[in-house]
């Protein structure tokens, strides 16, 4: 059993390392330029935040006002 290699080890042993080095070198040459994102709209953020806060307050209020018990009906056999 020690003579048998796993498929991943066999694949790793037979891959060409010069091809992977060449692809790494070409990837570094075509490196993307990162552009700083534009500043988000502050007014839009404030309006969305206010709406989310109202929705959150409403859900908290529903949670507080929820009934504290559940009606349970028991079926008794005659």
Tens-digit pLDDT profile for residues 23-46:
555 655 678 888 888 998 999 999
The number of angstroms, rounded, from the C-alpha of 38 to the middle of its chain's C-alpha atoms is 23
Tell me how far apart the alpha carbons of residues 5 and 8 are, in angstroms, rounded to a whole number: 8
Give me the chain's average pLDDT, please: 75
* 8-15 own/partner pairs: CB under 8 Å, 24+ apart: none
- Per-residue pLDDT band at 7 (split at 50, 70, 90): low
Tell me how far apart the alpha carbons of residues 19 and 29 are, in angstroms, rounded to a whole number: 16
* C-beta of residue 13 within 8 angstroms of C-beta of residue 5: yes
Model-level pTM?
0.39
The number of angstroms, rounded, from the C-alpha of 43 to the middle of its chain's C-alpha atoms is 27
């Amino acid at each position: 059993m020690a003579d048998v290699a796993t498929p991943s080890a066999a694949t790793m042993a037979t891959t060409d390392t010069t091809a992977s080095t060449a692809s790494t070198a070409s990837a570094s040459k075509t490196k993307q330029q990162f552009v700083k994102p534009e500043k988000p709209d502050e007014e839009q953020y404030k309006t969305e935040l206010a709406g989310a806060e109202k929705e959150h307050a409403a859900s908290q209020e529903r949670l507080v006002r929820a009934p504290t018990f559940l009606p349970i009906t028991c079926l008794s056999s005659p």
